[in-house]
A and B are shown apart, each in its own frame.
Chain A
Amino acid sequence: MNEPIANSPPSPASGSAVPGEGGVSPDARRPWHKRRLLPSSPLYATLRWGAAGLFAAIVVGLIVSIVSQSSQAFAHSGISFLWSGTWNPDAGDYASGTLVVGTVITTLVAMIIVVPVGLGVSVSLSELMPRWLAAPLSTSIEFLAAVPSIVVGLWALLVLSPVFATDVEPALEGLPVLNRIFRGPAYGPSVLLASVVLAIMTLPTVVALSRTALGGVPIADREAAMALGATHWQVVRRTVLPGARSGIAAAITLAIGRALGESIAVALVIGNRPAIPHSLLAPGATLGSAIVNQFAEASPGLGTSAVIALAGVLLLLTILVNVVGQLLVRRRGGRRLLGVRGAVV
Chain B
Amino acid sequence: MSKLPSMQVALDGAMPDMGLAEVARRRLVVRDSARRSIGRRRTAGRAMQVICLLAVPIALAPLVALAIATVSKGAGALSIGFLAHAPTPEGVPGGGISTAIVGSGEIIAYAIALAVPLGLFIALFLFERPGPIASAIRFSADVMSGVPSIIIGIFAYAVYVERFHHFSDVAAGFALGVLMLPIMVRANEEAMRTVSVDLWEAGISLGARRSRVARSVVLRGALPGVVTGNLLALARGVGETAPLLFTVASPTFAMTLLIFNDATQPYPDAQQTAWGTALVLLALVLILSVIARTVAWTLNRKTR
Q: Are A and B associated in one complex? A: yes
Residues of A with Cβ closer than 8 Å to B? 1-5, 10, 18-20, 37-41, 43-45, 47-52, 54-56, 58-59, 61-62, 65-66, 69, 116-121, 123-125, 128-129, 137, 140-141, 143-144, 146-155, 157-159, 200, 203, 207, 228-234, 237, 254, 257-258, 260-264, 268, 288, 291-292, 295, 307-308, 311, 314-315, 318-319, 321-323, 326, 338-339, 341-343, 345
Q: Mark B152-170, 1 if CB is under 8 A from A, else 0.
A: 1011001100100000000
Q: Does B197 sit at the interface, judged by CB under 8 A?
A: yes
Establish whether residues B55 and A116, one from each chain, have CB atoms under 8 Å apart when the complex forms.
Answer: yes
| From B55, B127, B148, contact of A262 by CB (8 A) | B148
Establish whether residues B148 and A148, one from each chain, have CB atoms under 8 Å apart when the complex forms.
Answer: no
Give Cα A159–Cα B149 distance, bound, in whole angstroms: 25
Q: Mark B243-254, 1 if CB is under 8 A from A, else 0.
A: 001100000000
Give Cα A152–Cα B63 distance, bound, in whole angstroms: 9
Establish whether residues B236 and A345, one from each chain, have CB atoms under 8 Å apart when the complex forms.
Answer: yes
From residue B282, how far is it (CB to closest CB) to chain A in Å? 6
Which residues of B (204-254) have their CB < 8 Å from a CB of A?
204, 207, 209-211, 214, 225, 228-229, 232-233, 235-236, 238-242, 245-246
Excluding A65-B155, A263-B242, 14 further A-B contacts by CB distance (< 8 Å) are A2-B128, A2-B197, A20-B207, A38-B210, A39-B209, A47-B121, A51-B121, A146-B239, A151-B239, A151-B278, A291-B154, A307-B154, A319-B146, A338-B142
Known: A2-B127, A339-B193. A120 touches B54 (CB 8 A): yes
Q: Mark B121-150, 1 if CB is under 8 A from A, else 0.
A: 110110111100100110111111111111
Give Cα A343–Cα B292 distance, bound, in whole angstroms: 11
Establish whether residues B209 and A19, one from each chain, have CB atoms under 8 Å apart when the complex forms.
Answer: no
Which label, helix, strand, loop or mixed, suits the secondary structure of the A interface?
A: helix
The interface residues of chain B lying within 8 Å CB-to-CB of A49 are 125
> What are 9 A-B pairs with beta-carbon distances under 8 A?
A41-B210, A52-B125, A55-B122, A62-B178, A120-B51, A149-B240, A233-B45, A233-B49, A341-B145
The interface residues of chain A lying within 8 Å CB-to-CB of B286 are 143, 146
Q: Which residue of B lies closest to A128 (CB)?
A: B49
Q: Does B200 sit at the interface, judged by CB under 8 A?
A: yes
Q: Does B42 sit at the interface, judged by CB under 8 A?
A: yes
Known: A137-B56, A339-B190. A52 touches B122 (CB 8 A): yes
From residue A188, how far is it (CB to closest CB) to chain B in Å? 13
From residue B152, how far is it (CB to closest CB) to chain A in Å? 7
From residue A306, how far is it (CB to closest CB) to chain B in Å? 12
From residue A206, how far is it (CB to closest CB) to chain B in Å? 10
Establish whether residues B56 and A124, one from each chain, have CB atoms under 8 Å apart when the complex forms.
Answer: yes
From residue A340, how far is it (CB to closest CB) to chain B in Å? 8
Establish whether residues B229 and A234, one from each chain, have CB atoms under 8 Å apart when the complex forms.
Answer: no
Establish whether residues B59 and A40, one from each chain, have CB atoms under 8 Å apart when the complex forms.
Answer: no
Establish whether residues B144 and A59, one from each chain, have CB atoms under 8 Å apart when the complex forms.
Answer: yes
From residue B268, how far is it (CB to closest CB) to chain A in Å? 11
Stretch from B19-27, B94-102, B259-267 that touches the partner: B259-267
Q: Which residue of A lies closest to B59 (CB)?
A: A121
From residue B245, how far is it (CB to closest CB) to chain A in Å? 6
| From A41, A144, A254, contact of B146 by CB (8 A) | A254
Known: A3-B130, A155-B66, A232-B45. A61 touches B155 (CB 8 A): yes
| From A50, A52, A326, contact of B137 by CB (8 A) | A52
